[in-house]
Amino acid sequence: MVTAFRPVTLNEALAIRRTHGTVPLAGGTDLMAAAPSCSPGRGESSPSIMFIGHLTELRQIRMEQGEWRLGAAVTLADILDHARLPAPLRQAVADMASPAIRNVATAGGNICNASPCGDTLPFLYAQAARVLLCDSGNRRELPIERFIIGPGKTALRPDELLTEIVFPAREFVVHRHHKVGARRANTLAKLSFLGLADMDAAGRLSDIRLTFGSVAPTVIRAPQLEQRLCGLPLTEMKHHIDEISAAYDGLIQPIDDQRSTREYRKQVCLNLLRWFLEELIA
Ligand SMILES: Cc1cc2nc3c(=O)[nH]c(=O)nc-3n(C[C@H](O)[C@H](O)[C@H](O)COP(=O)(O)OP(=O)(O)OC[C@H]3O[C@@H](n4cnc5c(N)ncnc54)[C@H](O)[C@@H]3O)c2cc1C
């Protein structure tokens, strides 16, 4: 038998988490899919779950001091419906699952599930997002790349909940998101690529962010490589594409699995990178 809690407030949820060590269930779309493997073995105590998807405190989307703050239980459908949220995030969400799943699946669940193919993650890494983590007495903030520490592994403590996702309300002039899967809808990514770029009035690249999903244990972003391109006149970019591509070749370390092969994943990532950089020059 599974014990289930349904707190009315976030404070109540945090108190339950502290005393009962419950598993938070937001939309349940990852948890329910994993349920058979989570069933308790012989002699183990039954798991307890706590519904958090309905908590008003976790359902807010607001802009504060130049930053977006998304409650952890904001659903993917809420993100799609919010026309002012950045286009690359909404596009990534539009490519996720199906409308039925998006109606219940949450932003916080996608992060806490920490899958290498979590589709909101390339955007959040590119925007240097932070997550707000609360227990019943304290709150702390972590950059997303320090929160997700490996496939299915996060820095969440047993008495904490992820409550908010924070990122700059910053739009980029050029943004390209590609999710490559077996089909257009309801499919997990074989790989994904997000490129964001801004140019200054003198025709130089003033900012660039490049992220790759599903091709390493966590999302790949390499700010030191991005920095090599920043400040370059676009006319000179073509001289740097081979060198940058070779550097990412070393970073992209996909695996073979039922969705794809490592060779395909790496080659398509490098093609998308080259395509994006060449498009900036054109
Ligand atoms: C048919 C189908 C298609 C899918 N397609 C995609 C896809 O295209 N792309 C993609 O990225 N994913 C996909 N998914 C996976 C899933 O829908 C997403 O990862 C979703 O965002 C998970 O959110 P959730 O609220 O349902 O998470 P849940 O299942 O409720 O939780 C996931 C994990 O996060 C923890 N958790 C949730 N919220 C919190 C919180 N606030 N604080 C602490 N821990 C928390 C839970 O305890 C659990 O460990 C798909 C799933 C299904 C079933």
- pLDDT, tens only, 185-205: 888 999 999 999 999 999 999
Indicate whether this model's pTM tops 0.75.
Answer: yes
Asked whether the domain spanning 174-281 has the same topology as the one spanning 3-168, the reply is: no
Residue 53 CA: which ligand 1 atom is closest? 25
Note the pLDDT of residue 21. 87
Asked if residue 136 has pLDDT above 70, the reply is yes
Would you list the domain boundaries of the chain?
3-168, 174-281
| Mean pLDDT of all residues in 229-244 | 94
Note the pLDDT of residue 42. 42
Residue at token pair 């740097």: 240
Q: Which two tokens stand for residue 123?
A: 């955007």
Asked if residue 43 has pLDDT above 70, the reply is no
Is 174-281 a domain of CATH 3.30.70.270? no
Mutate to test the pocket of ligand 1, among 18, 29, 69, 219 (most ligand atoms within 8 A of CB): 29
CB count in 10 Å sphere of residue 40: 11
Asked if residue 74 has pLDDT above 60, the reply is yes
Note the pLDDT of residue 36. 63
Give percent above pLDDT 70 in the chain: 96
Asked if residue 40 has pLDDT above 50, the reply is no
Asked if residue 41 has pLDDT above 60, the reply is no
The CATH number corresponding to 3-168 among 3.30.465.10, 3.40.50.1110, 3.40.630.10, 3.30.43.10 equals: 3.30.465.10
Q: Confirm or reject: Cβ of 162 under 6 Å from ligand 1.
A: yes
**Per-residue pLDDT band at 46 (split at 50, 70, 90):** low
Residue 34 CA: which ligand 1 atom is closest? 29
Mean pLDDT of the chain: 94
Q: Confirm or reject: Cβ of 113 under 6 Å from ligand 1.
A: yes
